[in-house]
Chain A
Amino acid sequence: MTDVIKTTVTLNVNGRPIEVKPGELLIEACEQAGDYIPRFCYHPRMEPVGMCRMCLVEVDGPRGATLQPACYIHVTDGMNVTTNSEKVKKAQDGVLEFLLANHPLDCPVCDKGGECPLQDQTLTHGSGETRFIEEKRHFVKPIEIGKLVLLDRERCIQCARCTRFSDEVAGDTEIAFSGRGDLIEVAPSPTKPFDSVFSGNTVQICPVGALTAKPYRFSARPWDLEQVESTCTTCAVGCRVAVQSSGNRLTRILGVDSDPVNHGWLCDKGRFSLDSIDGNEESRDLLSAATRISQPLLRENGVLKEVTWDEALEAAASILRNAAQSSDGVGAVGGASLTNEGAFAWERLVRGVLGSEHLDAQFGDGLDPVVLQALPKATIDEAAAAKTIVTLTGDLREELPVLFLRLRENIVRQNSALIEFGFGPSALRSLARVSLAIRPGEAHLAARALCDGSDAPKGAIFTNEELEEARQHIGDSGEGVVFVVGRANLAEDSSVLEEAIRRFAERYPNATFLVALRRANVMGALDMGLAPRLRPGRGVDVAASGRDTLDQLAALRDGEQKALLVLGGCLIGNVADAPAARAALEKADVIAVTGHGGATLAYASVVLPAAVQHERRGTVTNIEGRVSAVTPKIVAPGSAWPDVAIAAELAELLGQSIGLTSVEQAAKAIEETTGYPALSVMNDELHDGVVVGRADASSLRHALDPMAFPGIRSTEAVGIASYTGSTTTVLAHSSGVTKGASLSDLTSSPEIEVGIADAYSLTLYASRRLYDRGIAMQGSPALQPLIPSSALALHHVDLDRLGVESGTVVKVTGARGSILLPVVLDEHVARGSAGIFVGTLNSSGENPLDVLFDPEHLISQVRLETR
């Protein structure tokens, strides 16, 4: 006899039969049936707790109908539920009366006023009168619980959404309930404030105005704000956001619940960096990221002066014209901060008009683009659901924060096995089933040992047993395994990781890969062909050869290349070897197309102001290849232009045409020539976007109410039905000589020889922090103070061996000299290596990477001296 597994259960809600999935929570079932149940503590992305009792409904049982919390009970077959009886209404009224007994009359001065679930639900379900004449409880009004979050304890209704978020979702438990009864409060530890990189989410999900965000506090009233739905392009996760503005100033960014991407969560950098887009009006320093570039600039007598677009474009065109006379005279770098349309336009200009194959969207801080294109890809959902996840990346919480949340959630909930190749700090470490500690220059050896079934390489700091356990989890063919691969260490040549990744891909044919590269639209720029050998639409021309960023810098230094187009982003601020880049730019004619100031502008002959995120229309592609729309909310300052227009005008001046004059045209051209779904995504503005190359790409469009959805729908929003968008099938193809990339295109690299560190040296591990000295952080007054200063992180074994204590300032000597850095203890750093964070400065304003990076070798080695 076979068991029949029931796929639905039927229950009665207010006398109507409804069919839902078994195991569904009653609150969800009723909502699907159109009966919205009021709530405070329930949040669909977190475990229910049944704390607030606002969701009481009547459920029939053996002793008659009783009031039960709908968020805490699961549906059963034949259940009889009443959500609108007198008894239920009385219960709702009663719960509200209790909540309001201790709630201050703050609405007129409360940030939440106007979008507050407590206000809304009181209006809908409350009695309208108060019987409470006693003194309310009082607390000191707002206290700072973290650098970005303020807490007004009087307003808190103890729903535990924030504390559950901190514990369950972010996993760092930096806040918890403290005290009891009416004195209960949300509290961080006095020695460890609430400085999680996810702290802003608690402000968004707090159903009252208890938690407020410092940058937004008192800056606007919700009814004065206008909003659009867009995609965050601060990193490459591509979280869906609601972008709000008041007039032409961005005021707030909120997370939108996109099921395949961000589940409503954002990181604080994505959420609070909006000031960097508005720009600091006072800031005039062109070398500072806080300055918005709003006018074309031309260098005259050594100084950048404001000029008209005509003058600037003419100057740029003449530089390009002259340089293009010698073969290989011009090239372009950057493009990862552009939209797909912008990247496509520049690709046409550089390849089509200038005839150059020298272009690269990565600043030498990524991975071989052909390897990236050739890997079989996994989506974020697939990675999160994988039975085994293998990571060979930097700290994901620091590099791709919301990807970290997604992976963490599934590792915790489904107990999937995490195998970590760990160089240094990692927020996932405590969840890893196996953690193979490796030093810089060892990744390919570790990968080889894993794949060949051989013993751990000589001198390795992981054991054969650990290696074997990892193999067990990965299985024979890698079925159900997702490798998450990124560029962990900037002080190590990318060939080491590329070799490791290639071995994984060859050895485990059924495994898939998620590329953990950080810069906003890097995948989109590569898909648009912004790298040597790549072609728009994910094509590869194996016969072509061009210079990547590092080669271009070398060619500029040697005078082989004359001119360089820098497309968005700060080149100097992002390359590992900034001194070499400076020397190269010194000799070059540089045209910078950018919206922000930065060190690169010191070398620019012409600066063309471009519109940046939230000012431009188009599409972007995230790490999993999901194309989603970006929608402008404000108008770019001054006379900044969209990239498509700048590229088109330059082409005209060079006597040719790229055939594009608008973003729409670019999107259309992308879709028509390559099948890449730019136009359909842009026009449909599908909520979740579309993954390139995936057949079933249905998506959802719904009423945009991020304060309410998910979790608490403000009463007005009830009744707005969800709209399911059309199902689009997309498969990118490429035309002409090009074809899709495959692993067989890759010439296997010669044996990688990494020098062995002597006993006194440590190998350098230069990893990324979310809070670095990039544009988003430096341009935002709220985030800028959070940028840490440099330190040298060591394992305790090395501290003991060298006889230094945590906190001591030591002299660190590398390839280019010495720098003073305080030493900190970090057990995550592999023994024998020393960790620094990219994009930080020491107390005298020096960047450690500038001094310690060794361009001559595959890895960098440093020595320590105590002063």
Chain B
Amino acid sequence: MSHFQPELRQRAEELVALYPRSRSAMLPLLHLAQEQDGYLSEAGIEEVAGLTGTTSADVRGTASFYDMFHLEPVGKYVVGVCTNIACLLAGGEEFLEHASQTLGCAVGATSEDGLFTLEETECLADCDKAPCVQVNHRYVRTTTPESFDTLVGDLRKGVHDADIPSHGTLIRVKRNGGLRASHDEIREQRATSSAARAKRAEGNS
């Protein structure tokens, strides 16, 4: 029995077929596994090992190199705060400290309600909006402690459900998955999120 749900399993098989050596498909497959489970569960890792003709030790080893793969369960929202040079100068460390207090969990840990995991990150390539914060790898542009607290409140209330889906969903993978993943789908998603953002902006003003 496949651990992947049928649709994902199909996409996984398409991905494997893209490469002359199935092992090359390991990273995109890990994204799929994370998309389904929110993190890389042992069953997910074994599924990827089976699909790529490797072993779970090998897959786990590879995944552990990358910070964006989680080998432990994470919260619904993974909050990343940058403390690299530009953000550091703009108070990134203090911001991280503040985030830790607001979320009620230490850096690297998950809040008790299982909603948030807090991470300290390297440069997120958005230095002009320092200190930079991402939630589930989406820029949220909250540069002050107050706006951060508002964001956390909104996340709890589900205000962002449309534009910040649960952890694991990476549009990039969907786009590349199978090379025939529909651009329409992506466009549609983008439209939904910008609409949601616009709506919120209206509400705020």
- Chain A interface (Cβ within 8 Å of chain B)? 166-167, 172-180, 187-192, 430
Question: CA separation between A650 and B100, bound complex, in Å?
Answer: 86
Contacting pair B57 A180 (CB below 8 A): no
B55 near A191 with CB under 8 A, answer no
What are the residues of chain B within 8 A of A187 when measuring CB–CB?
Answer: 57, 60-61
Q: Is the CB of B55 within 8 A of A174?
A: yes
What chain B residues lie within 8 Å of A176 (beta carbons)? 55, 57-58, 60-62
Say what secondary structure dominates the interface of chain A. mixed
Assess the A192–B64 pair: CB atoms within 8 A.
no
Known: A189-B45, A191-B42. A179 touches B65 (CB 8 A): yes
List, in ascending order, chain A residues with CB within 8 A of B64's CB: 178-180
Q: Which chain B residues numbered 127 to 170 have a C-beta less than 8 Å away from chain A?
A: none
Q: Considering the complex, give the chain B residue whose CB is closest to the CB of A166.
A: B57
Given contacts A188-B57, A189-B42, A189-B57, list 8 more A-B pairs with CB under 8 A.
A174-B57, A175-B57, A176-B55, A176-B58, A180-B65, A187-B61, A191-B46, A191-B56
Q: B60–A189 contact, CB under 8 A? A: yes
B54 contacts partner chain A, Cβ-Cβ < 8 Å: yes
Q: Which A residue's beta carbon lies closest to that of B53?
A: A430
6 closest Cβ pairs, A-B complex: A176-B61, A189-B56, A173-B55, A178-B64, A189-B57, A176-B57
Q: How far is the CA of A189 from the CA of B54 in the complex (A)?
A: 12
A178 and B60 contacting across the interface, CB-CB below 8 Å: yes
A192 touches B56 (CB 8 A): yes
Which chain B residue has the least Cβ–Cβ distance from A190?
B42
Max chain B C-beta neighbours (<10 A), residue from A176, A180, A188, A191: A176
Q: Which residues of B contact A173 (CB under 8 A)?
A: 54-55, 57-58
A191: nearest residue on chain B (CB-CB)? B42
Of all chain B residues, the one with the shortest Cβ separation from A175 is B57
Within 8 A of A (CB), among B88-127: none
Known A-B contacts A178-B61, A180-B64; A172 and B55 likewise in contact (beta carbons under 8 Å) = yes
Hey, which chain B residues are within 8 Å of A189, CB to CB?
Answer: 42, 45, 55-57, 60
Using CB atoms, name the residue of chain B closest to A193.
B57
Q: How far is the CA of A203 from the CA of B45 in the complex (A)?
A: 27
List 18 contacting pairs A-B, 8 Å CB cutoff, sorted by A: A173-B58, A174-B55, A175-B57, A176-B55, A176-B57, A176-B60, A176-B61, A176-B62, A187-B60, A187-B61, A189-B56, A189-B57, A190-B42, A191-B42, A191-B46, A191-B56, A192-B55, A192-B57
Chain B residues near A179: list those with CB within 8 A: 64-65
The residues of B that contact A175 with a CB separation of less than 8 Å are 57
Closest to B54 in A: A173
CB distance from B52 to the nearest CB of A (A): 11
For the complex, what is the distance from the CA of A178 to the CA of B42, rounded to whole Å? 15
CA of A691 to CA of B34 in the docked complex: distance in angstroms?
56
- Report the bound CA distance from A178 to B55 in whole Å: 13
Which residues of the other chain, B, contact A178 by a CB distance below 8 angstroms? 60-61, 64
Contacts of A172 in B (CB 8 A): 55
Q: Taking the nearest CB of chain A, how far is it from the CB of B4, in angstroms?
A: 18
Bound together, the chains give a CA A177 to CA B45 distance in angstroms of 15
Min distance, Cβ B90 to any Cβ of chain A, angstroms: 26
**B residues touching A (Cβ–Cβ < 8 Å)?**
42, 45-46, 53-58, 60-62, 64-65
Q: How far is the CA of A527 from the CA of B185 in the complex (A)?
A: 74
State the Cβ distance, B56 to closest chain A Cβ, in Å: 4
Q: How far is A167 from B57 in the complex, measured between Cα atoms in Å?
A: 10
Q: Is the CB of B46 within 8 A of A177?
A: no
Provide the residues of chain A in CB contact with B62, threshold 8 Å.
Answer: 176
Q: Provide the residues of chain B in CB contact with A188, threshold 8 Å.
A: 57
Chain A residues, Cβ within 8 Å of B65: 179-180
Which of B53, B64, B65 has the most A CB atoms < 10 Å from its CB?
Answer: B64
Minimum CB–CB distance for B203 against chain A, Å: 43
Task: Give the shortest distance, in Å, between A20 (CB) and chain B (any CB).
Answer: 34
Q: Which of B45, B57, B60 has the most CB of A within 10 A?
A: B57
- Taken together as a complex, chains A and B put the C-alpha atoms of A166 and B58 apart, in Å, by 10
Asked if B61 and A177 sit within 8 Å, CB to CB, the answer is yes
How many angstroms from the CA of A178 to the CA of B56 in the assembled complex?
11
Within the complex, the shortest CB–CB distance from A466 to chain B, in Å, comes to 21
Residues of A within 8 A of B46 (CB): 191
Tell me the bound Cα distance from A177 to B59 in angstroms.
10
**Shortest distance from the beta carbon of B99 to any chain A beta carbon, whole Å:** 23
Residue of B nearest to A189 (CB): B56
Residue picked from B42, B45, B56, most chain A C-beta under 10 Å: B56
Q: Which residues from A are CB-within-8-Å of B54? A: 173
> CA of A178 to CA of B61 in the docked complex: distance in angstroms?
4
How far, in angstroms, from A430 to B56 measured CA to CA in the complex? 17
Taken together as a complex, chains A and B put the C-alpha atoms of A190 and B64 apart, in Å, by 13
- Taking the closest CB of chain B, its distance from the CB of A181, in whole angstroms, is 10
With a 10 A CB-CB cut-off, give which of B45, B61, B62, B64 has the most chain A CB atoms: B61
For the complex formed, measure the closest distance between the CB of A430 and the CB atoms of chain B, giving whole angstroms. Answer: 8
- Interfacial chain A residues near B60, Cβ < 8 Å: 176, 178, 187, 189
Chain A contacts of B42 at CB under 8 A? 189-191
**Nearest B residue (CB) for A183:** B64
Q: Tell me the smallest distance from the CB of A177 to a CB of chain B, in Å.
A: 5
Residues of A within 8 A of B55 (CB): 172-174, 176, 189, 192
- A485, chain B: closest CB distance, angstroms: 29
Docked Cα-Cα span, A172 to B53, in Å, equals 11
- Which of chain A's residues has its CB closest to B55's CB? A173
**Candidate in A172, A178, A179, A187 with the most chain B CB atoms within 10 angstroms:** A178
Q: How far is the CB of A548 from chain B (nearest CB, A)?
A: 44
Query: With the chains together, A754 CA to B196 CA distance in Å?
Result: 75
Alpha-carbon gap, A198 to B175, bound state (A): 43
**Closest residue on chain A to residue B66 by CB atoms:** A180
Q: Once bound together, how far apart are the Cα atoms of A284 and B94, in whole Å? A: 71
Q: How distant is the Cα of A178 from the Cα of B57 in the complex, in angstroms? A: 8
Task: With both chains docked as a complex, state the minimum distance between the C-beta of A26 and any C-beta of chain B, in angstroms.
Answer: 30
CB distance from B121 to the nearest CB of A (A): 14
Nearest CB in chain B: distance from A861 CB, A: 31
B45 contacts across to A, CB distance below 8 A = 189
Q: Report the Cα distance A189→B62, complex, angstroms.
A: 12
Closest residue on chain A to residue B61 by CB atoms: A176
Interface centre among A172, A177, A187, A189 (most CB of B within 10 A): A189
Report the minimal beta-carbon distance from B53 to chain A, rounded to whole angstroms.
Answer: 8
In whole Å, how far is B184's beta carbon from the nearest beta carbon of chain A?
38
Residue of B nearest to A173 (CB): B55
**Smallest beta-carbon distance B108→chain A, Å:** 13
Complex CA gap A377/B55 in Å reads 37
Among A166, A173, A188, find the residue whose CB has the most chain B CB atoms closer than 10 A.
A173
**Smallest Cβ distance from A172 to chain B, in angstroms?**
7
How long is the Cα–Cα vector from A188 to B61 in the complex, in angstroms? 9
Taking the nearest CB of chain B, how far is it from the CB of A195, in angstroms? 12
| B46 CB, min distance to chain A CBs, angstroms | 7
Name the residue of chain B whose CB is nearest to the CB of A177: B61
C-alpha gap A176/B54 in the complex (Å):
11
- The answer to whether B58 touches A167 (Cβ under 8 A) is yes
- Kindly list chain A residues whose C-beta atoms are within 8 Å of the C-beta of B58: 167, 173, 176
Instruction: Give, as a whole number of angstroms, the nearest-CB distance from A783 to chain B.
Output: 23
> Which residues of B lie under 8 Å from residue A177 when comparing CB positions?
61
Q: How far, in whole Å, are A176 and B64 apart by their CA atoms in the complex?
A: 11
- Please name all residues of chain B whose beta carbon is closer than 8 Å to the beta carbon of A190 when the two chains form the complex: 42
State A192–B58 Cα separation when bound (angstroms): 11
Q: How far does the alpha carbon of A174 sit from the alpha carbon of B55 in the complex, in Å? A: 7
Q: Which residues from B are CB-within-8-Å of A180?
A: 64-65
Docked Cα-Cα span, A175 to B65, in Å, equals 15
Q: Which residue of A lies closest to B65 (CB)?
A: A180
Query: What separation, in Å, do the CA atoms of A188 and B60 have in the docked complex?
Result: 9
Nearest Cβ on chain A to B37's Cβ, whole angstroms = 15
| Chain A residue nearest in CB terms to B49 | A189
Bound complex: CA of A177 vs CA of B62, how far in Å?
Answer: 8
Report Cα–Cα, A174/B56, bound state, in Å. 8
Q: Which residue of chain A is the closest to B62 with respect to CB atoms? A: A176
The smallest beta-carbon distance between A184 and chain B, in angstroms, is: 9
Closest residue of A by beta carbon distance from B43: A191
Cα distance A479–B65 when bound, in Å? 48
Shortest Cβ distance from residue B58 to the other chain A in the assembled complex, whole angstroms? 5
* Min CB–CB distance B45 → chain A (angstroms): 7
